[in-house]
């Protein structure tokens, strides 16, 4: 299982969207994102607030999808399809926006049913109309719940950079802290292994920890 923002791709999608607004919105959203990923505040308390401040349009989500594809972690486009060819199940579990993540998943060979993220809704003009508030992925422990529900084959390795990813350690065989884009001390200290690249991660997948 892979996280997306700051793991598979080198951006935080909501922060990029917020930067399209004024400086006050961008700074507030970036601060709340960082605090939630460090585990200093629960994601539940800021998820709706951040989207409410940004209110991204359908077209902005399309552009975010293009940016995800352009900011793939080095080696990911080579390593992931090879895993899939070898019969290794690869799933994306993200608190990000599903409509933006799906295109990059498809280019890597990850099927739609293996992409778990939060859906947005838009009105007839393409303006933001809300998000799936029932999604567990908008909460601090939602990734753990989703991974448990997926019943993936064992051994199961989960990979991410933030506290919401670390929560999956309880339902996986091992957790790898990905530090290729950002290193969060509280997450690294509780991880089974730290990896800085997809080539390193490939070694963990192939050889174990």
Residues carrying an active site annotation: 3, 5
**Rounded to 5 degrees, what angle do the CA atoms 8, 13, 15 make?**
130
How many C-beta neighbours within 10 Å does residue 110 have? 23
Compute CA distances 157 → 3, 59, 78, 201, whole Å: 11, 34, 19, 10
Q: Which of 136, 150, 132 is nearest to 2 (CA)?
A: 150
Q: Which of 7, 183, 185, 208 is nearest to 91 (CA)?
A: 7
Compute CA distances 146 → 44, 168, 171, 192, whole Å: 15, 9, 10, 21
Alpha carbons 197 and 46: distance in angstroms, whole number: 29
In this structure, what is the dihedral angle of CA atoms 21, 27, 32, 38, given to the nearest 10 degrees?
130
Tokens 């951006």 found at: 11
């Amino acid at each position: 299982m892979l996280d997306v923002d700051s793991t598979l791709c080198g951006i935080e999608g909501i922060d990029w969207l917020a930067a399209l607004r004024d400086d006050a919105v961008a700074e507030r959203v970036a601060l709340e994102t960082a605090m939630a990923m460090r585990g200093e505040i629960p994601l539940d308390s800021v998820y709706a607030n951040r989207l409410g401040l940004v209110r991204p349009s359908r077209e902005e989500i399309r552009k975010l999808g293009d940016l995800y594809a352009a900011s793939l972690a080095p080696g990911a486009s080579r390593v992931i399809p090879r895993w899939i060819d070898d019969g290794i199940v690869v799933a994306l579990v993200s608190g990000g926006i599903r409509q933006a993540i799906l295109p990059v998943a498809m280019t890597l060979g990850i099927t739609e049913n293996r992409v778990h993220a939060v859906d947005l809704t838009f009105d007839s003009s393409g303006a933001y109309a809300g998000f799936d508030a029932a999604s567990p992925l908008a909460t601090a422990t939602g990734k753990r719940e989703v991974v448990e529900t997926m019943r993936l084959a064992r051994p199961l390795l989960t990979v991410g950079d933030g506290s919401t990813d670390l929560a999956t350690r309880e339902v996986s065989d091992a957790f790898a802290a990905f530090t290729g884009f950002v290193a969060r001390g509280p997450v690294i200290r509780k991880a089974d292994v730290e990896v800085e690249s997809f080539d390193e991660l490939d070694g963990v997948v192939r050889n174990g920890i």
